[in-house]
């Protein structure tokens, strides 16, 4: 096995990946198929959040509450609202460490959790759903709360 093959081997946490990349591809793709762009470097995160307007930022995770609640809830919400964020990005906790740390840096005053779902306006946090909320909700409840947040923070002013 080649040490540079990301699909077959996990690197130690200090070196980057917590899990074999092959194992998390479906977890990444679930959000990408929903129209959410992966940001895998700190520079990608900064570039996305430097743009004006609203950004949905999803801190993805391998955990069960991400799989059974957060990712399905985000997908349901995006499919059931007219008030879409201007941009939708994701980082993967435990995999894209620098990107995740950079993203969490925008959540001033809040402890890091994964999974998490945030809305930022002009690079400033306006909404954050943390793990403790996700763990206690169903995918449908998460979707309903996110649709409410999209309506509040992402609605376009009438022309």
Is 63 marked active-site?
Answer: yes
Residues 6+ positions from 110 with CB-CB distance below 8 Å = 125, 128, 130
Q: How far apart are CA 77 and CA 63, in angstroms?
A: 20
Which residues lie across from 56 on neighbouring strands? 88, 119
Instruction: Give the angle subtended at the CA of 131 by the CAs of 128 and 137, to the nearest 5°.
Output: 95
- 154 as an active site residue: the answer is no
- Selecting among 31, 42, 65, 120, the annotated active-site residue is 65
Q: One of 45, 59, 63, 143 is an active-site residue; which one?
A: 63
Packing angle between helix 97-105 and helix 42-49, nearest 10 degrees?
30
Q: Hey, which residues are catalytic here? A: 63, 65
């Amino acid at each position: 096995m080649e040490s540079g093959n990301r699909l077959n081997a996990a690197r130690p946490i200090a070196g980057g990946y917590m899990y074999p990349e092959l194992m998390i591809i479906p977890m990444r793709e679930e959000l990408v198929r929903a129209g959410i762009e992966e940001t895998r470097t700190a520079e990608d995160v900064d570039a996305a959040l430097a743009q004006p307007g609203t950004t949905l930022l999803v801190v993805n995770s391998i955990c069960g509450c991400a799989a059974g609640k957060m990712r399905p809830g985000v997908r349901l919400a995006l499919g059931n609202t007219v008030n879409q964020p201007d941009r939708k990005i994701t980082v993967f906790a435990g995999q894209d460490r620098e990107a995740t740390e950079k993203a969490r840096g925008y959540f001033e005053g809040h402890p890091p959790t994964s999974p998490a779902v945030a809305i930022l306006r002009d690079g400033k946090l306006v909404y954050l759903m943390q793990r403790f909320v996700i763990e206690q909700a169903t995918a449908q409840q998460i979707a309903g709360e996110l649709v409410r947040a999209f309506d509040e923070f992402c609605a376009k002013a009438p022309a």
